[in-house]
Amino acid sequence: MKMNPRLPRALNNLGSLLLERGAFEKAAACFRTALSADNSLARVHNNLGLTSLGLNDLAEAEQCYLQAIRQNPSTPQPYGNLAEVYEHIGLHDRARPLRAQALRLATHR
């Protein structure tokens, strides 16, 4: 059976609404289901990272942001979000260049 190609994006949209409402577990389930259908969506990886950060799972948040950067290195948000994770755990030297990259990318859009 072929999956509707709009399903991952719809799940991402639903997950984003749940994330905004603080329903982190439900949002994570939406993002994971979307990624199981299409693992190439950088925005979904980034959103799962935000959800993981909300659940205080910094290791998963880091991996999600790294994957989002691998999928789409020209998007500034995952760089800034990854910097936030590193700052949270005291790795300020790793965070600084990520913040700078996020700013560079954001100003060239």
> With the CA atoms of 29, 42, 81 and 12 taken in that order, what torsion angle do they form, in degrees rounded to the nearest 10?
-40
- pLDDT, tens digit, 9 for 90 and up, residues 69-92: 999 999 999 999 999 999 999 999
> Which residue in the block uniquely carries the two structure tokens 């789409």?
72
Model's pTM, two decimal places? 0.92
Superfamily of the domain at 7-107: Tetratricopeptide repeat domain (1.25.40.10)
CA dist 69 and 85 (Å) reads 14
- pLDDT, tens digit, 9 for 90 and up, residues 35-50: 999 999 999 999 999 9
- Judge contact between 7 and 34, C-beta under 8 A: yes
Tell me the domain boundaries of the chain: 7-107
